[in-house]
Amino acid sequence: MKRVVYARRGGLEAIEIIEEEAPSPSSGQVRIEVHRAGINFADLMMRQGLYGAAPDFPFTPGYEISGIVLELGEGVTELSGGDRVVALSGFGGYAEQVAVDSNRVWKLPDNVSFDAAAAMPVTYLTTHHMLVYLGNFKPGDSILVHHAAGGVGTATAQIAKALEAGAVYGPASANKADFVEKQGMIHIPRGNDFVKRIKDEVGGVHHALDPVGGKHVMESYRALRNGGRLYVFGASSAVKGPKRSMLTALKMWWTTPRFDPIRMMNSNKSVFGVHMGMWKDEEVVREQMVALAKMLEMGLIDPVIDSVYRFEDVAAAQKHIHDRGNRGKVLLDFSPN
C-alpha cells in the first residue's frame, strides 16, 4: 500500500509517497481501506514545523477518513468487514489503508457519500464542540466566523441554520462574497472594520470563531457582546504560503494577546482554546459525532466539497489551500483504481 509522508520540515517539496505493507489492526482496532481523506489547514502548518502537537518527522498527516472496513482486531464486535465508515484517525489518514481504534469509527448511513463523510469530522466536530458543548448555544444567538468560505466557515453556516441562529457574520475576501452569502452568512470584505460593523448592527456577537491568531484574536474579542464567547482554534496568520517563514510565524506569536482575567471578569467575556486533536474525553467526542451523523442523515448539514484530488497530487491540493483558493473542503482520493 502507499501512504503520504512528510519526510522533513519544509515546503511542498517535503511531501513524499512511500510504499509499504498494510497495517495489521491491534486489539480494539479496525483496518480500513481509505477512500477519502480530509485536508485541514493544520496539516499545512505541520509540514512547515509550526504545529506543536505534530509527531516528529517523518510522519503521515491526516485526521479524518472515510472508507470500508477490511479487518477487525481482537475484541471488536460493533463493526463488521465491509462496513462503510467514517473515522477520526488522529494522524496517519493520508494512506491507502489505516488501522484505527474502533471507538473512533462510525458506520455510515447508505445515503451518505464518502466525500461528505470525510469532510465532516474535523470541521463540523470543531464547530459543534465550540457552539454547543462549550458555548451553550441558544436559538437567536449571533456568530462571527473568520475564513468563512473554508471548511469550518461552511460547517458553521450549516450548523448555525440547524440551531436557528441569528445573524452569522462571515469575513472573507471580496471574490468569495457571493459564495459566503449563498451559505447564509453576512459577508464582510477582508480588511474592513468588522468590529465596528458588528457593534453597529447587533451590539456584538454571542460567539466569535477565530482560526487566524495573532493580533486578530483581540479584534474578535472586541466584537463580542457582554457575555460573549471567543473560541481560538487556529493560527493561520503564522503561514504566509507553501514555504515556511519564521518571520511570519514569530510575528503571529508576538502579537497574540495576553488576556487580563480581571478585565474579562468585568466584561463577562470568555475565551476558549480549542484543539479537538488534543481533547481527551472520548465520550464527549462520540456523543457529538452521533449528533452530527443524525444531522447529516436528516439533511440538516451537507458538507461543501471544493475539490477532490488523487492522493498522488497532494502537493497541488495543499497549494490550492495555501493560495486561499478553496470554497469548502478539499479531499484526497485514495480509493482503489
Asked whether residue 325 falls in the same domain as residue 246, the answer is no
Looking at the predicted structure, is the pLDDT value of residue 216 above 90?
yes
Full DSSP string of 92-136: --SBSEEEEEGGGEEEPPTTS-HHHHHHSHHHHHHHHIIIIIIT-
Residue 154, in any domain of the structure: yes
Asked whether residue 149 falls in the same domain as residue 272, the answer is yes
Instruction: Pull the grid cell for residue 26.
Output: 491491534
Residue 178, in any domain of the structure: yes
pTM of the entire predicted model: 0.92
To the nearest 10 degrees (0 to 180), the angle between helices 282-297 and 121-128 is: 110
Looking at the predicted structure, is the pLDDT value of residue 110 above 90?
no
The CA distance from 176 to 174, in Å, is 5
pLDDT attached to residue 293: 86
Q: What is the CATH number of the domain that holds 18?
A: 3.90.180.10
Amino acid 42 reads A
Provide the mean pLDDT of the chain: 94
Looking at the predicted structure, is the pLDDT value of residue 199 above 90?
yes
The CA distance from 210 to 266, in Å, is 22
At 173, the pLDDT band (50, 70, 90 cuts) reads very high
The CA distance from 296 to 121, in Å, is 11
Asked whether residue 137 falls in the same domain as residue 252, the answer is yes
Beta strands in the chain (DSSP E): 2-6, 15-19, 29-39, 64-72, 84-88, 97-101, 105-107, 143-145, 168-172, 186-189, 205-210, 224-232, 270-273, 305-310, 329-333
Looking at the predicted structure, is the pLDDT value of residue 291 above 80?
yes
| Residue span of the structural domain in which 110 resides | 2-120+303-333
At 192, the pLDDT band (50, 70, 90 cuts) reads confident
The CA distance from 323 to 315, in Å, is 12
Looking at the predicted structure, is the pLDDT value of residue 315 above 90?
yes
Asked whether residue 74 falls in the same domain as residue 173, the answer is no
Report the domain count for the chain. Answer: 2
Looking at the predicted structure, is the pLDDT value of residue 177 above 90?
yes
pLDDT (tens digit per residue) in 134-151 = 999 999 999 999 999 999
Residue 162, in any domain of the structure: yes
Residue 290, in any domain of the structure: no
pLDDT attached to residue 241: 85
Instruction: Report percent pLDDT > 70 for the chain.
Output: 100
Residue 270, in any domain of the structure: yes
- Eight-class DSSP state of 166: S
Instruction: Report percent pLDDT > 90 for the chain.
Output: 85
Residue 293, in any domain of the structure: no
Residue 227, in any domain of the structure: yes
pLDDT (tens digit per residue) in 231-273 = 999 989 889 889 888 889 899 889 999 998 898 899 999 999 9
Residue 159, in any domain of the structure: yes
Mean predicted confidence (pLDDT) in 296-317: 95
Asked whether residue 71 falls in the same domain as residue 112, the answer is yes
Asked whether residue 86 falls in the same domain as residue 210, the answer is no
The CA distance from 317 to 45, in Å, is 14
Neighbours of 184 (CB within 10 A): 14
Asked whether residue 209 falls in the same domain as residue 324, the answer is no
Looking at the predicted structure, is the pLDDT value of residue 62 above 90?
yes
Looking at the predicted structure, is the pLDDT value of residue 184 above 80?
yes
Residues 146, 212 contacting (CB under 8 angstroms): yes
Mean predicted confidence (pLDDT) in 199-208: 98
Asked whether residue 211 falls in the same domain as residue 318, the answer is no
Beta strands in 184-249 (DSSP E): 186-189, 205-210, 224-232
Asked whether residue 164 falls in the same domain as residue 269, the answer is yes
SS3 call for 16: strand
Asked whether residue 170 falls in the same domain as residue 204, the answer is yes
The CA distance from 224 to 138, in Å, is 16
